[in-house]
Amino acid sequence: MIDERKVRDRARLQKVAVRHGAAVLAAFTLWGAADAWALSSGLFLAEIIAMFNAIFAATAIAYIAHEWGHFTGARFSGAISPVAKEPVSFFMFTFKDELNTQGQFLAMSAGGSLANWTLVVLMCFMLPLETWSQALFLATTVAIAVSVGVFEIPIINRVMYGDDPTTAVQQRLKESGSTPRIAGIATGALVWLLAI
């Protein structure tokens, strides 16, 4: 029975990996083509289109990285975290709060933010920042990393000091409002202005 669950979980994980991998490749390819068009043509319209592509591509890639970070943190800690039978959007697994420890929740939570900041560092080294859209791609990854941190760090702090994980998440959802999004957008805008 346990072996059957592992086989089923592995098969589901492979499907998610293929789906997310294809989404990341498509996002990079569409944005890369638009950015190359803007760079080679010098057209203002091409740059605007490339910038919109940068926002959408960086957002999709950042959220996929975030979920894989959560998943990696959960699995690294040994948490019970089965891959979802029918993943919804970027969400790919279930974290069983009632069956996992406080330490496993913290590892899962920290993994998401760590993945976002790893993506930011990678983009700093990989993007030459020669176009507005390249700068916007970097700025969008920073914006999402900041937004995620503003939302999730208070949860991590509460759980570290003994709060129940489910309660901490619910409280943060009620109190955070649009603050994480605003902080992310403001930081991203500043990064974009500094990078262009």
pLDDT tens by residue, 101-157: 999 999 999 999 999 999 999 999 999 999 999 999 999 999 999 999 999 999 999
Long-range CB contact pairs, 153-160, < 8 A, 24+: 153/113, 155/109, 156/106, 156/109, 156/110, 159/102, 159/105, 159/106, 159/109, 160/106
- 61 or 3, greater pLDDT: 61
Query: Residue 97 pLDDT more than 90?
Result: no
Give me the residue spans of the domains in the chain.
2-195
Confidence of residue 85 (pLDDT cuts 50, 70, 90): confident
Share of the chain above pLDDT 70, in %: 99
Averaged pLDDT for residues 18-39: 96
